[in-house]
Amino acid sequence: MTEIIRDKAALRARVTAWKRAGEVIGVVPTMGALHEGHLSLAQAARAGADRVIVTIFVNPRQFNNPSDLENYPRTEHQDAEKLAPFGVDVIYVPGPSEIYPDGFATSVHVEGLTEILCGAFRPGHFDGVTTVVPKLFLQTGADKAWFGEKDYQQLQVVRRMAADLDIPVEVIGCPTVREPDGLALSSRNLLLPADARAKAPALGHVMQGMAEALAQGGTMAELVAPAEAALAGAGFDKVEYLELRAADGLALLDRLDRPARLLAAAWIGGVRLIDNIAVG
Ligand code: AMP
Protein backbone atom coordinates (compact mmCIF):
# COMPACT_ATOMS: atom_id res chain seq x y z
CA MET A 1 0.00 0.00 0.00
CA THR A 2 1.15 3.52 -0.72
CA GLU A 3 2.66 5.40 2.19
CA ILE A 4 0.36 7.96 3.84
CA ILE A 5 1.97 11.08 5.34
CA ARG A 6 -0.14 13.29 7.60
CA ASP A 7 2.16 16.12 8.66
CA LYS A 8 3.94 18.72 6.63
CA ALA A 9 7.30 18.38 8.39
CA ALA A 10 7.53 14.69 7.41
CA LEU A 11 6.43 15.54 3.89
CA ARG A 12 9.01 18.33 3.67
CA ALA A 13 11.80 15.91 4.70
CA ARG A 14 10.79 13.45 1.99
CA VAL A 15 10.42 16.11 -0.70
CA THR A 16 13.76 17.72 0.18
CA ALA A 17 15.55 14.43 -0.46
CA TRP A 18 13.81 14.03 -3.82
CA LYS A 19 14.65 17.60 -4.84
CA ARG A 20 18.29 17.08 -3.89
CA ALA A 21 18.33 14.13 -6.26
CA GLY A 22 17.01 16.42 -9.01
CA GLU A 23 13.66 14.68 -9.29
CA VAL A 24 10.57 16.32 -10.80
CA ILE A 25 7.68 16.31 -8.34
CA GLY A 26 4.08 16.03 -9.45
CA VAL A 27 1.01 16.66 -7.32
CA VAL A 28 -2.64 15.71 -7.76
CA PRO A 29 -4.77 17.69 -5.29
CA THR A 30 -8.08 15.98 -4.37
CA MET A 31 -10.73 15.93 -1.68
CA GLY A 32 -10.79 12.13 -1.64
CA ALA A 33 -13.74 9.84 -2.40
CA LEU A 34 -11.59 8.91 -5.35
CA HIS A 35 -13.03 7.67 -8.63
CA GLU A 36 -11.70 6.98 -12.12
CA GLY A 37 -11.50 10.73 -12.82
CA HIS A 38 -9.02 11.23 -10.00
CA LEU A 39 -7.19 8.06 -10.97
CA SER A 40 -6.75 9.36 -14.54
CA LEU A 41 -4.94 12.36 -13.03
CA ALA A 42 -2.74 10.07 -10.92
CA GLN A 43 -1.91 8.08 -14.04
CA ALA A 44 -1.05 11.23 -16.02
CA ALA A 45 1.11 12.43 -13.12
CA ARG A 46 2.89 9.08 -12.94
CA ALA A 47 3.81 9.44 -16.61
CA GLY A 48 4.83 13.10 -16.27
CA ALA A 49 6.85 13.30 -13.05
CA ASP A 50 9.55 11.35 -11.21
CA ARG A 51 7.65 11.50 -7.92
CA VAL A 52 3.91 11.69 -7.46
CA ILE A 53 2.05 12.97 -4.42
CA VAL A 54 -1.74 12.67 -4.27
CA THR A 55 -3.20 14.98 -1.65
CA ILE A 56 -6.50 14.28 0.11
CA PHE A 57 -7.90 17.21 2.03
CA VAL A 58 -11.58 18.05 2.37
CA ASN A 59 -11.04 21.79 2.45
CA PRO A 60 -13.66 23.41 4.70
CA ARG A 61 -12.98 26.84 3.20
CA GLN A 62 -14.23 25.90 -0.23
CA PHE A 63 -17.62 24.71 1.04
CA ASN A 64 -20.15 27.51 1.11
CA ASN A 65 -22.77 25.22 2.65
CA PRO A 66 -22.20 23.49 6.03
CA SER A 67 -24.38 20.45 5.20
CA ASP A 68 -22.46 19.92 1.92
CA LEU A 69 -19.23 19.82 3.96
CA GLU A 70 -20.76 17.47 6.52
CA ASN A 71 -22.19 15.10 3.88
CA TYR A 72 -19.09 15.10 1.69
CA PRO A 73 -18.01 11.44 1.33
CA ARG A 74 -14.85 10.47 3.23
CA THR A 75 -13.38 7.13 2.15
CA GLU A 76 -9.67 7.25 2.97
CA HIS A 77 -9.09 3.52 3.23
CA GLN A 78 -10.76 2.77 -0.12
CA ASP A 79 -8.95 5.76 -1.65
CA ALA A 80 -5.58 4.28 -0.68
CA GLU A 81 -6.62 0.91 -2.13
CA LYS A 82 -7.69 2.50 -5.40
CA LEU A 83 -4.39 4.37 -5.72
CA ALA A 84 -2.27 1.29 -5.00
CA PRO A 85 -1.90 0.17 -8.66
CA PHE A 86 -0.82 3.63 -9.85
CA GLY A 87 2.67 3.78 -8.37
CA VAL A 88 2.01 6.96 -6.41
CA ASP A 89 4.91 7.72 -4.04
CA VAL A 90 3.00 9.36 -1.20
CA ILE A 91 -0.60 10.08 -0.26
CA TYR A 92 -0.57 13.31 1.74
CA VAL A 93 -3.55 13.55 4.08
CA PRO A 94 -2.93 16.67 6.17
CA GLY A 95 -4.87 17.19 9.37
CA PRO A 96 -6.73 20.53 9.50
CA SER A 97 -3.99 22.19 11.61
CA GLU A 98 -1.35 21.37 8.97
CA ILE A 99 -3.29 23.60 6.56
CA TYR A 100 -5.03 26.09 8.87
CA PRO A 101 -2.98 26.40 12.08
CA ASP A 102 -4.26 28.58 14.91
CA GLY A 103 -4.09 32.21 13.93
CA PHE A 104 -4.28 31.51 10.19
CA ALA A 105 -5.30 34.81 8.62
CA THR A 106 -4.53 34.75 4.90
CA SER A 107 -6.87 34.41 1.94
CA VAL A 108 -6.03 34.44 -1.76
CA HIS A 109 -8.62 35.99 -4.06
CA VAL A 110 -8.60 35.90 -7.87
CA GLU A 111 -10.70 38.69 -9.37
CA GLY A 112 -13.04 38.46 -12.34
CA LEU A 113 -12.87 34.78 -13.22
CA THR A 114 -14.29 33.85 -9.80
CA GLU A 115 -17.32 36.14 -10.04
CA ILE A 116 -19.10 34.18 -12.80
CA LEU A 117 -20.54 30.64 -13.18
CA CYS A 118 -19.96 28.66 -9.95
CA GLY A 119 -18.50 31.76 -8.29
CA ALA A 120 -21.84 33.56 -8.58
CA PHE A 121 -23.66 30.74 -6.79
CA ARG A 122 -21.04 29.59 -4.28
CA PRO A 123 -19.77 32.68 -2.44
CA GLY A 124 -16.26 32.18 -1.10
CA HIS A 125 -15.78 28.84 -2.85
CA PHE A 126 -12.96 29.90 -5.14
CA ASP A 127 -11.21 31.87 -2.39
CA GLY A 128 -11.12 28.57 -0.50
CA VAL A 129 -9.62 26.86 -3.55
CA THR A 130 -7.04 29.54 -4.29
CA THR A 131 -6.01 29.69 -0.64
CA VAL A 132 -5.49 25.95 -0.20
CA VAL A 133 -3.97 25.14 -3.59
CA PRO A 134 -0.85 27.33 -3.25
CA LYS A 135 -0.36 25.87 0.25
CA LEU A 136 -0.50 22.37 -1.22
CA PHE A 137 1.90 23.44 -3.98
CA LEU A 138 4.35 24.79 -1.39
CA GLN A 139 3.99 21.92 1.09
CA THR A 140 4.52 19.30 -1.62
CA GLY A 141 7.24 21.24 -3.45
CA ALA A 142 5.45 20.44 -6.70
CA ASP A 143 6.95 21.24 -10.09
CA LYS A 144 3.83 20.10 -11.92
CA ALA A 145 0.18 19.75 -10.90
CA TRP A 146 -2.68 17.88 -12.57
CA PHE A 147 -6.28 19.11 -12.50
CA GLY A 148 -9.44 17.87 -14.22
CA GLU A 149 -11.32 19.75 -16.92
CA LYS A 150 -14.44 18.49 -15.09
CA ASP A 151 -13.96 21.63 -12.98
CA TYR A 152 -13.13 23.83 -15.94
CA GLN A 153 -13.56 27.16 -14.17
CA GLN A 154 -11.40 25.93 -11.27
CA LEU A 155 -8.67 24.96 -13.76
CA GLN A 156 -8.73 28.49 -15.25
CA VAL A 157 -8.76 30.11 -11.80
CA VAL A 158 -5.84 27.98 -10.55
CA ARG A 159 -3.82 28.80 -13.69
CA ARG A 160 -4.47 32.51 -13.18
CA MET A 161 -3.53 32.32 -9.48
CA ALA A 162 -0.28 30.43 -10.16
CA ALA A 163 0.71 32.85 -12.94
CA ASP A 164 -0.19 35.95 -10.91
CA LEU A 165 1.74 34.77 -7.84
CA ASP A 166 4.75 33.59 -9.90
CA ILE A 167 4.39 30.10 -8.48
CA PRO A 168 6.68 27.96 -10.63
CA VAL A 169 4.26 25.05 -10.98
CA GLU A 170 3.12 23.85 -14.40
CA VAL A 171 -0.67 23.37 -14.23
CA ILE A 172 -1.86 20.58 -16.52
CA GLY A 173 -5.53 19.96 -17.42
CA CYS A 174 -6.89 16.47 -18.13
CA PRO A 175 -10.12 15.47 -19.92
CA THR A 176 -13.30 14.67 -17.98
CA VAL A 177 -13.83 10.97 -17.28
CA ARG A 178 -17.46 9.83 -17.66
CA GLU A 179 -19.65 6.90 -16.75
CA PRO A 180 -20.72 4.70 -19.72
CA ASP A 181 -24.07 6.57 -19.74
CA GLY A 182 -22.29 9.93 -20.08
CA LEU A 183 -22.55 11.24 -16.51
CA ALA A 184 -19.33 13.00 -15.55
CA LEU A 185 -17.73 11.20 -12.62
CA SER A 186 -17.97 13.17 -9.38
CA SER A 187 -17.57 12.31 -5.72
CA ARG A 188 -21.02 13.86 -5.23
CA ASN A 189 -22.60 11.23 -7.52
CA LEU A 190 -22.40 8.92 -4.49
CA LEU A 191 -25.01 11.14 -2.84
CA LEU A 192 -27.57 10.81 -5.69
CA PRO A 193 -30.70 8.79 -4.88
CA ALA A 194 -31.16 5.92 -7.38
CA ASP A 195 -33.93 7.58 -9.42
CA ALA A 196 -31.96 10.84 -9.70
CA ARG A 197 -28.82 8.90 -10.64
CA ALA A 198 -30.76 7.27 -13.50
CA LYS A 199 -31.92 10.67 -14.80
CA ALA A 200 -28.68 12.62 -14.24
CA PRO A 201 -27.02 11.78 -17.61
CA ALA A 202 -29.65 14.03 -19.27
CA LEU A 203 -27.46 17.00 -18.33
CA GLY A 204 -24.59 15.86 -20.52
CA HIS A 205 -26.93 14.73 -23.31
CA VAL A 206 -28.77 18.06 -23.44
CA MET A 207 -25.43 19.90 -23.49
CA GLN A 208 -24.19 17.66 -26.29
CA GLY A 209 -27.29 18.53 -28.34
CA MET A 210 -26.68 22.24 -27.72
CA ALA A 211 -23.03 21.90 -28.72
CA GLU A 212 -24.05 20.36 -32.05
CA ALA A 213 -26.60 23.14 -32.67
CA LEU A 214 -24.00 25.79 -31.79
CA ALA A 215 -21.51 24.22 -34.17
CA GLN A 216 -24.13 24.64 -36.92
CA GLY A 217 -24.58 28.35 -36.22
CA GLY A 218 -27.19 28.24 -33.44
CA THR A 219 -27.26 30.92 -30.75
CA MET A 220 -27.59 30.60 -26.99
CA ALA A 221 -30.50 33.10 -27.15
CA GLU A 222 -32.54 30.48 -29.02
CA LEU A 223 -31.09 27.31 -27.43
CA VAL A 224 -31.18 27.94 -23.67
CA ALA A 225 -34.96 27.96 -23.03
CA PRO A 226 -35.64 24.63 -24.81
CA ALA A 227 -32.59 23.09 -23.11
CA GLU A 228 -33.82 24.18 -19.67
CA ALA A 229 -37.27 22.79 -20.49
CA ALA A 230 -35.69 19.49 -21.56
CA LEU A 231 -33.76 19.31 -18.26
CA ALA A 232 -36.89 20.05 -16.23
CA GLY A 233 -38.70 17.33 -18.21
CA ALA A 234 -35.87 14.92 -17.48
CA GLY A 235 -36.23 15.49 -13.71
CA PHE A 236 -33.83 18.33 -12.91
CA ASP A 237 -35.16 20.65 -10.21
CA LYS A 238 -33.20 23.76 -11.09
CA VAL A 239 -30.61 24.98 -13.57
CA GLU A 240 -28.20 27.44 -11.95
CA TYR A 241 -26.39 28.36 -15.13
CA LEU A 242 -26.09 27.13 -18.68
CA GLU A 243 -23.66 29.32 -20.56
CA LEU A 244 -21.34 29.42 -23.52
CA ARG A 245 -17.99 30.92 -22.67
CA ALA A 246 -14.64 31.46 -24.38
CA ALA A 247 -12.44 28.43 -23.66
CA ASP A 248 -9.65 30.84 -22.75
CA GLY A 249 -10.64 33.63 -20.34
CA LEU A 250 -14.33 32.59 -20.02
CA ALA A 251 -15.87 35.65 -21.75
CA LEU A 252 -19.64 35.17 -22.20
CA LEU A 253 -20.60 34.23 -25.77
CA ASP A 254 -23.89 33.94 -27.66
CA ARG A 255 -22.54 32.06 -30.63
CA LEU A 256 -19.50 30.06 -31.57
CA ASP A 257 -17.04 32.72 -32.78
CA ARG A 258 -13.93 31.25 -31.11
CA PRO A 259 -12.94 28.07 -29.24
CA ALA A 260 -15.61 27.77 -26.57
CA ARG A 261 -16.90 25.78 -23.67
CA LEU A 262 -20.50 25.09 -22.73
CA LEU A 263 -20.80 25.01 -18.92
CA ALA A 264 -23.70 24.09 -16.66
CA ALA A 265 -24.67 23.59 -13.04
CA ALA A 266 -28.01 22.00 -12.15
CA TRP A 267 -29.71 20.35 -9.20
CA ILE A 268 -31.26 16.89 -9.17
CA GLY A 269 -32.21 14.71 -6.21
CA GLY A 270 -30.84 17.30 -3.78
CA VAL A 271 -27.38 17.19 -5.40
CA ARG A 272 -25.72 19.95 -7.39
CA LEU A 273 -24.06 18.62 -10.56
CA ILE A 274 -21.70 20.53 -12.83
CA ASP A 275 -20.54 19.65 -16.31
CA ASN A 276 -18.85 21.30 -19.28
CA ILE A 277 -17.89 20.36 -22.82
CA ALA A 278 -15.75 21.81 -25.55
CA VAL A 279 -17.69 23.33 -28.44
CA GLY A 280 -16.28 23.74 -31.94
P1 AMP B 1 -12.13 16.92 -6.15
O2 AMP B 1 -11.73 15.74 -5.33
O3 AMP B 1 -13.56 16.89 -6.60
O4 AMP B 1 -11.71 18.24 -5.56
O5 AMP B 1 -11.32 16.80 -7.51
C6 AMP B 1 -9.93 16.66 -7.51
C7 AMP B 1 -9.44 16.76 -8.92
O8 AMP B 1 -10.03 15.72 -9.71
C9 AMP B 1 -9.83 18.09 -9.59
O10 AMP B 1 -8.74 18.53 -10.38
C11 AMP B 1 -11.00 17.69 -10.43
O12 AMP B 1 -11.19 18.52 -11.55
C13 AMP B 1 -10.61 16.28 -10.86
N14 AMP B 1 -11.78 15.53 -11.30
C15 AMP B 1 -12.94 15.37 -10.62
N16 AMP B 1 -13.82 14.67 -11.36
C17 AMP B 1 -13.19 14.36 -12.53
C18 AMP B 1 -13.58 13.66 -13.72
N19 AMP B 1 -14.78 13.12 -13.86
N20 AMP B 1 -12.66 13.55 -14.72
C21 AMP B 1 -11.43 14.11 -14.59
N22 AMP B 1 -11.01 14.79 -13.51
C23 AMP B 1 -11.88 14.92 -12.49
131 Cα: distance to centroid of ligand 1 (angstroms): 18
Q: What mean pLDDT is reported for the chain?
A: 98
Instruction: Find out whether 109 and 127 touch, Cβ atoms under 8 Å.
Output: yes
179 inside domain: no
146 Cα: distance to centroid of ligand 1 (angstroms): 9
Q: What is the pLDDT of residue 26?
A: 99
Same domain, 158 and 78: yes
pLDDT tens digits, 167-201: 999 999 999 999 999 999 999 999 999 999 999 99
How far is residue 280's CA from residue 218's CA, in Å, rounded to a whole number? Answer: 12
Instruction: Find out whether 131 and 137 touch, Cβ atoms under 8 Å.
Output: no
- Atom 19 of ligand 1, residue of closest alpha carbon: 185
Q: What is the pLDDT of residue 152?
A: 98
21 Cα: distance to centroid of ligand 1 (angstroms): 30
Phi, psi (degrees; rounded to nearest 5) at 10: -65, -40
Same domain, 148 and 217: no
* Residue 184 CA: distances (Å) to CA of 2, 43, 97, 144: 27, 18, 33, 24
The model's pTM is 0.98
Instruction: Work out the pLDDT band at 1, boundaries 50, 70, 90.
Output: confident
pLDDT tens digits, 156-165: 999 999 999 9
Same domain, 194 and 170: no
Using the 8-state DSSP alphabet, how is residue 62 labeled?
A: G
- Atom 12 of ligand 1, residue of closest alpha carbon: 148
- Which residues have CB under 6 Å of ligand 1? 30-31, 37-38, 40-41, 147-148, 150-151, 174, 176-177, 184-187
The CATH number of the domain holding residue 128 is 3.40.50.620
Q: What is the pLDDT of residue 155?
A: 98
Mean pLDDT of 132-144: 98
Q: Which atom of ligand 1 approaches the CA of 151 most closely?
A: 12
pLDDT tens digits, 58-99: 999 999 999 999 999 999 999 999 999 999 999 999 999 999
Same domain, 69 and 13: yes
Same domain, 137 and 218: no
Residues recognised as catalytic:
38
CA angle 192, 30, 194 (to 5 degrees): 10
pLDDT tens digits, 245-264: 999 999 999 999 999 999 99
Q: What is the pLDDT of residue 119?
A: 98
Q: Among 58, 150, 203, which residue has the most ligand 1 atoms within 8 Å of its CB, making it the best to mutate?
A: 150
Closest CA to 84 of 34, 144, 48, 120: 34
Closest CA to 214 of 222, 226, 203: 222
Domain count, the chain: 2
